[in-house]
Amino acid sequence: MWKKQSSLPVEMAEEARQETVRIIKSSSRPRDNLKKTERAALKTLKDNTLLTILPADKGNAMVVLNTSDYKQKISSLLEDSAYRKLAKDPTNAIEQKTTLLLKKSSLTEETHRQLCPAGSRPPRMYRLPKIHKEGIPLRPIVGNIGAPTYQLSKHLSGLLNQLTRKLAHHVKNSFHFIEILKSLKIKPGDLMVSFDVVSLFTKVPVEESLTLLIQHCNNEILALYKHVLTSTYFCINSQFYEQTE
């Protein structure tokens, strides 16, 4: 049976926001530890359109790339069969379908109000350079905050967490994984194997995943899962794409 996702009452949430703004405004500005020449150099780099400056995918580092190389890497990635170019922005249509499916669902009226999208904006794709790999490939990241299925996806993810906690092989995080390793007894001749999955999120089998969910939720909730799993689109350089896998 699904449990209702908890959230702060409107009054408490507004009070928390106001207190956060007050603390930020009252905080003194940190002392600038850069020299004038260093700050000028940073501005020169920032204003140089021939260069693209990005945070690295892993580690506290910044990467400076030739803009032409960066755009070429992006173009190469988008040519993958996992992505299909769209003729127009599907945001409004997906927002309307999300609202319709929520109305048809068995979720409470309060939950429906919390999850119903309004004024949605398309997810944006950006890329982070993987400097720990040869050729510095780019990792695609889709910023989904504000998208028509964002709140619904968060809610459905919470429902899935209730199921995965019951699995014998569920790993919560890296700390939990370390604890599991400590309890293992390695015998002579045992092998430890690590698998590196390429483009993990575009390789999740949607139909098979939905089949596994049939035994855990009704048809209305299943329709919501199918909707968020098949509404994977994004915008990059003013062009819209969807995932075909």
CA 162 centroid distance within chain: 20
Rounded Cα–Cα distance for residues 62 and 188 (Å): 43
In this structure, is residue 118 part of a structural domain?
A: yes
pLDDT-derived band at 228 (thresholds 50, 70, 90) equals: very high
Q: Tell how far CA 21 is from the center of its chain.
A: 26
* Helix, strand or coil, per DSSP, at residue 65: strand
In angstroms and rounded to an integer, the radius of gyration of the C-alpha atoms of the chain is 23
Confirm whether 11 is domain-assigned.
Answer: no
* Residue 235, strand partner residues: 124, 240
CB 86 within 8 A of CB 240: yes
| Spatial contact of 138 and 77, defined as CB atoms under 8 Å apart | yes
- pLDDT digits 0-9 by tens, 12-25: 777 787 778 777 77
In a domain, residue 111? The reply is yes
Mean pLDDT of 236-241: 92
- Half-sphere exposure (CA, 13 Å, Cβ side) for 63? 20
Strand order in the sheet with 138-143: 83-85, 239-243, 233-236, 124-129, 138-143
More confident residue, 164 or 99: 99
Containing domain of residue 128, as a range?
A: 39-167+202-243
Q: Is 180 contained in some domain?
A: no
Side-chain-side CA neighbours of 74 within 13 Å: the count stands at 18
Mean pLDDT of 169-194: 88
Tell me if 173 is assigned to some domain. no
For residue 177, is pLDDT > 60?
yes
Q: How confident is the model at residue 2 (pLDDT cuts 50, 70, 90)?
A: very low
Alpha carbon distance 96, 117 (integer Å): 8
Place of tokens 């906690």: 165
Q: Nearest-CA neighbor of 113 among 100, 102, 121?
A: 102
pLDDT digits (tens, 9 = 90+) for 72-120: 888 888 888 888 999 999 999 999 999 999 998 888 889 988 999 989 9
Q: Is residue 175 part of a domain?
A: no
Structurally, the chain folds into a number of domains equal to 1
CA distance 63 to 54: 5
Q: For residues 115 and 151, is the Cβ–Cβ distance under 8 A?
A: yes
Task: Give domain status of residue 233, yes or no.
Answer: yes
Within a domain: 20: no
Phi and psi at residue 80, to the nearest 5°: -60, 145
